[in-house]
Amino acid sequence: MNAIISAPELASELAGGRPPVLLDVRWQLSLAKVSGEPPFDGRAAYEAGHIPGAVYVDLDRELAATPGPRGRHPLPDVAEFGAAMRRAGVSSGTPVVVYDGGQGWGAARAWWLLRWAGHPNVRVLDGGLPHWAGPLETSVPTPAEGDFEPAPGAMGLLDADGAAALARAGVLMDARAGERYRGEVEPIDPVGGHIPGAVSAPTNENVAADGRFLPAEDLTARFKALGAVAGTEVGAYCGSGVSGAHEVLALAVAGIPAGLYVGSWSEWSSDPSRPVAVGPDPQ
């Protein structure tokens, strides 16, 4: 099963006899506390216009638990996540397509969570809403209750110790911008740098200028150059398990299974006993 779907393919499926459940997961990393600007409002963006039939899903409230020692976007309670997905109309036997405003991070987080929780058929709209050529609507649908029951474990999940071990024994990719990986800037977390042994693999290098994923063969070459070769275990992390999900999605497009360290740097850096590496060298 492909992990992504093009806008023309989505339009065709929505017009067909078995349309997918459509989830709008518009979200942006908010630096409002630092900049003083109001935070991005995904629901307001959704209500201003969305793909017909799409249901809004709040990443911070429905795809993550309350921030704390486990990071800024820890795994949600499984029962609460299942209930949120059923309210959105998600059923195990119906395909799901998720999209966001174009960055791909929010949609990837929803894709990863649903796949990790056992949904067999979830795809991300490649390039997000900017590539949708059809009409938008402002009315908010009330979907029929779905029947999805989470069965966690279908995707690789790493904790802090597992991420540290993978950085030594396999390939652990840091999906954040290079300057954050190197520790030159850190706008959110208390400490800059990266997990020792992790390699820098910014998510912006997974996509073309129009925001769509690079061809699978190009992604395969990119990840191979970073050490993701046959027989090597691969994982990814980021700041709080959102852009890291985008990295796992890009790896899936390339045909490479990978685990996600959901706690990511926001969890790792909150523990002063954990080592921190700085600069371009993984170690």
Q: Which two tokens stand for residue 100?
A: 């966001």
> Sign (positive/negative) of CA torsion 260, 244, 109, 273?
positive
The dihedral over CA atoms of 213, 218, 219, 222, expressed in degrees to the nearest 10, equals -130
Whether 114 is catalytic is: no
Contacts (Cβ under 8 Å, ≥6 apart) of 82: 117, 148, 149, 150
Catalytic residue among 3, 114, 160, 238: 238
- The beta-strand segments (E) located in the chain are 4-5, 21-24, 55-56, 96-99, 122-125, 157-158, 171-174, 199-200, 234-237, 259-261
Q: H-helix or E-strand containing 267?
A: helix 264-268
Active site residues: 238
